[in-house]
Chains A and B, each alone.
Chain A
Amino acid sequence: MSTDLETPLPTKFDVSDFDPRARRARSIRRLLLGTIALVAVLGLPWWVYPPIAVDIAAWALFAISVDLLLGFVGALSFGHAAFWGVSAYSAGLIAQNFGLPFPVAIVGGAIAAMIIAVPIGYLAVRRSGIYFAMVTLAFAQMIWFVANQWKDVTGGENGLQGVPKSFFGIELIETEAFYFYYVVVILIVAGAWLAWRIVNSPFGRVLVAIRDNSARTRALGYDVEKYKLIAFVLSAGIAGVAGGVFAISHGFVSLQELDWTTSGKVVLMTVLGGMGTLWGGPVGAAVIVLLEDRLATSGFDGIGIITGSIFILCVLLFRRGIWGTAKNLIDRARAGYAKRRS
């Protein structure tokens, strides 16, 4: 039986492909969104404290990796801290022991996350819904336990201290978070681009089909488990890039990176920003990271109460999340405008 992944190119048609005016409007829209995204990415360390900007970037990519599974495969991973954390430790250890430039350490961490994702994914993708969430959570807890016990390597509760930021001896980048940001943001954008490519590829269409109805997709000749596993491993790799960036940026890896609350936080960011949109995650990440930073510096320690309340309000009032709601409003306004004009 042939089981290769050959897929005929599903052609995406759009009504606007045939209408020059609609096509122009669409390219203007894209240009506008692209410009906003570019300004946001480049301007972030000017507006916020640069180390916080790096945190936002890392969490943003982490949220994108979760959305890849949650929004496009319909699988809620409640153990994504495993990949973020494994990559954080691996990147930290690589940077510490081999003195390699940090982008290499981060890529190494992402590869480690993908390797660990293969057995976890192999078992988890056979289940769906709450069972999938529980299996991923269980594995993440196991990895947390191993990291806690394996003190010689991970430092146990003390964490991994003194992770260097070596970058070809360029001191400005190694010591100034502001310049460091512009190097790691390249990795973050590359990770986000990869997620976008996956979603907008024939492979991504099959993932959406699996989300819509997996039995049907199986009956149309696709090995559903294999597709889910590939998506899972890719998602873990993207989460790994994010975790590696976070570890290098802080120069320190703690057990917190593997904690289940980290898995919960990233799911919260994804849902808050709007799942199934890919760009909602970064919005959610920015909101949560900035909020935590403000609240922490103000000396208030009930951060969880505030983020939890925001989450509840969001789920009750804007089910599509921040990005999803905004997009919906814009679409409705456009439809109304088009109607009035015709």
Chain B
Amino acid sequence: MIEIHGLSANYGEARVLNDVSLEVHQGEVVTLVGRNGAGKTTMLRSIMGLHRDLSGSISFDGKPIEKWSPNARARAGIGWVPDDRGIYASLTVAENLTLPPVVHKDAWSMEQIHATFPRMRERRSSMGTQLSGGEQQMLAIARVLRMGSRLLLLDEPSEGLAPVIVQRIGEIIREIKAQGVAVLLVEQNVKFASTVADRHYLLSQGRVVEQLSNDDFKAREVELLEHLGM
């Protein structure tokens, strides 16, 4: 679905990503695990086209997209769920959901959205900012699914949420995966990552230092936690 080769990204003089290669296939959940400042968020922003200072190749559905604008990438089926969730404060939940254009025939219908995210129906007329953190996270995910995004870029969806909500987010990610949507997940929560992902890339100082299957990942959980300093 998405293939990245030799991606390097800079902020001025500072190199944040160094020759990173990774791929995510259809219906696969892959995580990027690493410490703060390892370049995880920059990776997602680069895929979305929001970070411009980079070299290397990104291909989506076999097409090179590294020159495309962010809006063209969104319309091709890449959905970004930023770490601040990106809910529009001045729009209601329903308006937030229906704001983006539907870009793919497999886009989730409102019925599907409401079945998976019942809270979105109950709170449809609330303003975006009146939602709890967990609800905002769900709205952000629901919004890109309703667009018809086929690759979700989730930036720390578990951050700052109560364990029971994190569990619910995990269930949702598994549901999304079952629908054939690919997910690239940025996580610091190793426990949570191991409950949802198929594969993991370990990012350190802008490089992929290791690629692990979920079984290996679980087996080395203690060591990884140490690496992440948690």
Contacts and interface: CB of A to CB of B under 8 A. Distances in A.
- Whether chains A and B associate is yes
Interface of A: 1-2, 6-15, 17, 205-206, 208-209, 211-213, 215-216, 218-224
B58 to A, nearest CB: 15
B75 interface: yes
B89 A2 contact: no
B41 to A, nearest CB: 13
Nearest to A72: B90
Contacts of A209: 88, 91, 99
Given A219-B48, A221-B147, A223-B71, A7 B101 contact: yes
A6 B101 contact: yes
A322 to B, nearest CB: 21
Interface of B: 48, 50, 68-76, 80, 82, 86, 88-92, 94-95, 98-103, 124-125, 143-144, 147
Contacts of A206: 99
A117 B143 CA distance: 34
A142 to B, nearest CB: 30
A13 B71 contact: no
A119 to B, nearest CB: 21
Contacts of A9: 98
Contacts of A10: 91, 94-95, 98-99
Given A8-B101, A205-B99, A219 B94 contact: no
B99 A12 contact: no
B71 A218 contact: yes
Given A8-B102, A11-B94, A221 B74 contact: yes
25 contacts: A2-B103, A6-B101, A7-B101, A9-B98, A10-B91, A10-B95, A10-B99, A12-B95, A13-B92, A15-B125, A205-B91, A205-B95, A205-B99, A208-B91, A209-B99, A212-B89, A212-B90, A216-B82, A216-B88, A218-B74, A219-B73, A220-B147, A221-B74, A222-B74, A224-B71
B70 A218 contact: yes
B217 to A, nearest CB: 29
Given A218-B69, A218-B71, A220-B143, A8 B90 contact: no
Contacts of B94: 10-13
A239 to B, nearest CB: 24
Nearest to A6: B101
Contacts of B70: 215, 218-219
Contacts of A219: 48, 50, 70-71, 73-74, 80, 82, 86
Nearest to B92: A13
Name, among B71, B92, B103, the residue most crowded by chain A CB atoms within 10 Å (CB to CB): B71
Contacts of A12: 92, 94-95
A13 B110 CA distance: 14
Nearest 9 interchain pairs by C-beta: A221-B74, A220-B100, A13-B125, A10-B98, A218-B70, A216-B86, A219-B80, A10-B95, A221-B75
B188 to A, nearest CB: 22
A68 B101 CA distance: 23
Nearest to B102: A8
A160 to B, nearest CB: 43
Contacts of A215: 50, 70
A221 B70 CA distance: 7
B99 A220 contact: yes
Contact of B75 (A1, A211, A224): A1
Nearest to A14: B125
Nearest to A215: B50
Nearest to B107: A8
A74 to B, nearest CB: 11
